[in-house]
Amino acid sequence: MSEDKQLAVTLTFGETKVEFSGSPELVLKSILEYVAKVVPNLELARSITLNYSLAELINMFKDYVKITPEGPRVVGEEKKLSDREKVMLQLVAARIANLSGKRESDAMSTSEIQLATGLNPKTISSRLSELTKEALAERLGTETGARYRITTVGIMRLSEQLSKKIRDQPTVLSVP
């Protein structure tokens, strides 16, 4: 009496892990069907997913934010940033500090933003209200009061805005 040999295969693609077992023919057929159906869908899903890693955030905003011993700060006053951009960048700096383990939360209160940026508290409140209405920032209610954090879409829009600002700057030529 001969036993049919069983084949067991585990496939890992990104964070997805699947197992197939059975006859070699059945396993091969199942693997081919899986790859034909799932892999293109995962690639499509990945192409429309928006999420920024710490490395991406640092690369995108390294000319505008720094993590100092006093906390995350907006730098580059020579870039003529609007108050809105300063508030958004301060929230990005808090996200970077949080992702790098230098800050417990990526959310900030208006007083923390005021301390870090030096902007008028009424200006900060107005900008945060606008950003929240546009879903570029998110308001979190806590026992200690309202805190704000930048949304992923807010990061994308800020990056686009700053890139456009750089592109639109006139080039200064020095004549010897």
> What CATH number is associated with residue 124?
1.10.10.10
Residues listed for the chain = 176
Are residues 136 and 116 part of one domain? Answer: yes
pLDDT of residue 27: 86
Q: Which residue would you say has higher pLDDT here, 24 or 87?
A: 87
- Confidence band for 32, pLDDT divided at 50, 70 and 90: confident
Mean pLDDT (whole number) for 91-120: 95
H or E element, residue 73: strand 71-74
Q: Is residue 32 part of a domain?
A: yes
Are residues 143 and 87 part of one domain? Answer: yes
Q: Is residue 173 part of a domain?
A: no
Q: Which residue would you say has higher pLDDT here, 80 or 46?
A: 80
CB atoms < 10 A from the CB of 167, how many?
Answer: 7
The total domain count for the chain is 2
Cβ 14 vs Cβ 42: under 8 Å? yes
Tell whether pTM > 0.75.
no
pLDDT of residue 50: 78
Mean pLDDT (whole number) for 155-165: 92
